[in-house]
Amino acid sequence: MINSDNGNSEKKKSVPGNGYIKIYRSLAKHNVVGFKKPFSKFEAWIWMLLEAKYITQTEYIEFGNKSRIVETPRGSFTHSYRYLANAWGWSKNKTVVFLKDLEADNMITQKQVQQIKQTTICNYGTYQEGRDSKGTVKSTDNQLKIKNLQEREGQQKVQNKEKIIYIVECLNQKIGSKYKSTSEKTKKHIQARLNEGFTVEDFETVIDTKCVDWLDNPEYNKYLRPETLFGSKFESYLNQKQKVENFPL
């Protein structure tokens, strides 16, 4: 582009179309420039960036009249389409189409976690780390990663305690028992399975499966207890085929 002022030919630099800025999460609720429903697509996208977890977190989520423990990774959020539609002031159909468009453009990925939609922002970590003026990641990023790892290790202990409480409550509600999540024997079996990588959903599956087998069986219902359900045969119970009731035609 040529600037003819004062008879001088000069190339005018265009404004860069790349780069990024950091935004405070509280800006979304600002009384002047905060989001207003219904959101524009741009507002919905910024909302998603602000909603994404900065570090991995375990959450209690109410869905389908049931409390669920869900692990939401860094750069992700776990919300149903209905929740997002309500947050943005949109219809559910418009919300689904918008998210599919973002996924097709490689801006997000989506997956089901305990029947709830989990959305992950692509390259979230890349743009949340500190960079210098040339776009190079600063050496202090390693310190940030170490700090985040330490925080996550501390959180993991808290998260596992919450998971144990939830799992024991699930068992008690299912069979009408009064097992305590503070019992060392109970904690030992559940923690061992968590350490092996089994999820809360796996525990729920085992409880449901063995209740079908044993709850109404006087000979076996005594085995509906933590040391049996969550012991060495846990994986076998988890992979057991569900019984199908045969009803007369």
Distances (CA, A) of 13 to 1, 9, 97, 133, 231: 8, 13, 38, 18, 68
Structure confidence at residue 4 (pLDDT): 42
Q: What is the C-alpha separation between 56 and 47, in angstroms, rounded? A: 18
Name the pTM for this structure: 0.52
Please state the domain extents for the chain.
19-128, 140-238
- Determine the pLDDT at residue 147: 60
Structure tokens at 72: 């939401």
State the Cα–Cα distance between residues 181 and 129, nearest whole angstrom. 39
Residue positions counted in the chain: 249
Top-tier CATH class for 19-128: mainly alpha
Q: Which amino acid is at 33?
A: V
DSSP state letter for 181: T
Reduced to 3 states (helix: H, G, I; strand: E, B; else coil), residue 62 is: strand
So what's the pLDDT on residue 22? 74
Q: Which amino acid is it at 181?
A: S
Alpha-carbon distance values, 189 to 49, 173, 198, 208 (Å)? 38, 19, 12, 18
Q: Hunting for tokens 């979304």 — which residue is that? A: 28
The list of the chain residues with pLDDT below 70 reads 1-20, 129-158, 242-249
Among the residues of 52-183, which ranges form H helices?
81-88, 92-104, 124-128, 140-175
